[in-house]
Amino acid sequence: MKRTMTNRMMLAAVLVLLAGSQAHAQTDPLPSWNDGAAKKAIVEFVKATTEKSNPKFVAPEARIAVFDQDGTTWVEQPMYTQVVYCLERVPAVVKAKPEPGKH
């Protein structure tokens, strides 16, 4: 009988903790982010574009999100930034050291 009561108390404690964590997650849409300008701008943008009464509202069928490789959005360029870096950097390196293989 004591064991059943202890198990019920532990279950109740876990449920209370889960309910508290769910409530916190709902109040902060980006709980792992530090408060700052970037977080504020993203939250305000999403709020403005998803509230029907806001002039900046975007209908769900018109919303587009693009993610690349690691789940983040990258710059909107026809080439990856690493390729642009290489194309700009290689000529400078060759000009500074035109003979390959000699150190």
Of 46, 54, 49, 53, residue with least CA distance to 30: 46
Q: What is the pLDDT of residues 20-65, one digit of tens each?
A: 555 554 689 999 889 999 999 999 999 999 999 999 999 999 998 7
Q: What is the mean pLDDT of residues 84-100?
A: 84
pTM of the entire predicted model: 0.42
3 state SS of 60: helix
CA–CA separation, 103 vs 99, rounded Å? 9
Q: Where along the chain do its domains lie? A: 1-32
